Structure 1
Amino acid sequence: MSLFLFPHSIPSGGAAGIAILMNHWFHLSLGFSLWIANIVFLFFAIRYFGYTWTFRTILSVATTSTTVNFITLQVPHIHVHLLLDLIAGSVFFGIGVGILIRAGASSGGMVIPALMIATYKNWSPGKVMMGINLLIFLLTALVIDYKIVIFAIICQFFSTNIIDYIYELKIHKISFLTANWRKR
């Protein structure tokens, strides 16, 4: 997010959109804004998903916020091209969130209510997250620039499809140390 999306004010999701808005309005750092945007959802997560899942998500949010803060302040970003940055940010974000969900955690933010709704309704978590995030994207576009909603929707399209692919991916365990390994 820090390298590819945030320099263009493109939110990767709802919490990132809220963080960009807080950065725009109150000049808070993006990492700290991500923490603030996630606090409310973490309280819901404790009740709905339990302490273990929420603790993993808190670790994820802490890692993300710290990394965003460090990269934003220390690493100069050379803007290659807006569309290349958009695609790279979407792919990395989708892979990261997909892996987190498979590992029994999330990246926080709108992933938490999206997983709650997806679990309850038996819907795809990526598609639910896309619907929730549209409202925040529209607000970000109204406040900062109308083009952001288009870029954010493109980002969500790619990243949510990658999230769904990784979430539904069937991984077969290969065991070479069993007695019947040659019969496979």
Structure 2
Amino acid sequence: MKIDGIKGVVILFSLLKPKKCLLALLGSAILAFGLYNVHALSGVTEGGVLGMTLLLHHWFGISPAVTGLVLNAVCYWMGWRLLGKEFIGYSIIAGGGFSLFYALFEQFDPIWPQLAQHPLLAAVLGALFVGIGVGLSVRAGGAPGGDDALAMSMSAVTHWDIQWAYLITDLVVLGLSVSYIDLKRLACSLLTVLLSGQIIGLVQRFKRPEKKAIPENS
């Protein structure tokens, strides 16, 4: 069984393309940088899985360590069923890369500690890092977090552009969060998820201009 398991992992990663792996790692690095240097200081909440873990912790006292594990596992399971084995492979690279990069950035002091006093600026700047970082990982075919796996699964089933899948899940969670979060912080959170979702969609759909063929001399 162990040999079969190792063989399966080797086969899985042999299917992955090096360029997409590097793209997923780049995206996870940008995401980790933004979350550590911006989001962690702003006090702005999140939609999706992270926001739901905070909500459950506030009202029911359940540790985010437990709810986060369960909710992320469910989202990745859905992604695997709907998007296939390669999705899991790229997600392992994106998610693992995020953890490694975040641990690396934690070794240094935040670059912009003053952002804690400017939640609106932090919301916009954080949305840029999240949008570009997640967008690159999603473009590669992987999900750095359960939120992304859920949005990718919803997009695959409904054929909606992925930014609308992000928006729906985020709005549901933020709507529930009205029960314990002040309106100023909630407004900044709404701005963040609106901007980041749109940026993710733009990065995912971005197409390089095709090179024009050079006519041969007759």
* Fold shared per TM-score above 0.5: yes
Tell me the alpha carbon deviations over residues 67-118 of structure 1, each in whole angstroms, 9 at most, x when there is no partner.
Answer: 4455467534613322221111001110111111211112322222222222
Tell me the alpha carbon deviations over residues 30-58 of structure 1, each in whole angstroms, 9 at most, x when there is no partner.
Answer: xx986564222112222221222112113
* Structure 1 position 28, deviation (Å): 6.2
Does residue 42 of the first structure (1) align with residue 79 of the second (2)? Answer: no
Q: Which runs of 5+ in 1 are unaligned?
A: none
The structure-2 alpha-carbon separation of the partners of 1:99 and 1:12, relative to structure 1 and needing over 3 Å to count, comes to: farther
Secondary structure of the structure 1 residue equivalent to 2:201: helix
Corresponding position of 1:78: 113
The structure-2 alpha-carbon separation of the partners of 1:136 and 1:21, relative to structure 1 and needing over 3 Å to count, comes to: same
Q: Is the 8 A contact 1:90 1:158 kept in 2?
A: yes
Corresponding position of 1:153: 190
Corresponding position of 1:129: 166
Corresponding position of 2:85: 51
Does residue 113 of the first structure (1) align with residue 147 of the second (2)? Answer: no
Larger deviation, residues 81-90 vs 163-172: 163-172
Between structure 1 and structure 2, the one with the greater Rg is: 2
Q: Is the 8 A contact 2:54 2:64 kept in 1?
A: no
The structure-2 alpha-carbon separation of the partners of 1:27 and 1:132, relative to structure 1 and needing over 3 Å to count, comes to: closer
Correspondence list, 1:9-24, <5 A: 9-21=43-55
Structure with greater contact order relative to length (CA < 8 Å, sep ≥ 6): 2
Tell me the alpha carbon deviations over residues 12-31 of structure 1, each in whole angstroms, 9 at most, x when there is no partner.
Answer: 441232354577656768xx
The code of the aligned residue for 2:176 comes to L
RMSD: 3.1
The code of the aligned residue for 1:78 comes to P
Q: Which runs of 5+ in 2 are unaligned?
A: 1-34
The code of the aligned residue for 1:112 comes to A
Correspondence list, 1:22-37, <5 A: 37=71
Q: Percent identity?
A: 21
Corresponding position of 1:102: 139
- Number of equivalences: 177
* Structure 1 position 132, deviation (Å): 0.9
Whole-angstrom distance in 2 between the partners of 1:71 and 1:151: 24
Where is the helix percentage greater, Structure 1 or Structure 2? 2
* Structure 1 position 61, deviation (Å): 2.2
The code of the aligned residue for 2:124 comes to I
* Structure 1 position 124, deviation (Å): 1.1
The structure-2 alpha-carbon separation of the partners of 1:149 and 1:72, relative to structure 1 and needing over 3 Å to count, comes to: farther
Corresponding position of 2:36: 2
* Structure 1 position 167, deviation (Å): 1.9
Q: Is the 8 A contact 1:12 1:93 kept in 2?
A: no
The code of the aligned residue for 1:126 comes to Q
Q: Normalising by the residue count of structure 2, what TM-score does the alignment of the two structures yield?
A: 0.66
Whole-angstrom distance in 2 between the partners of 1:4 and 1:71: 12
Q: Normalising by the residue count of structure 1, what TM-score does the alignment of the two structures yield?
A: 0.76
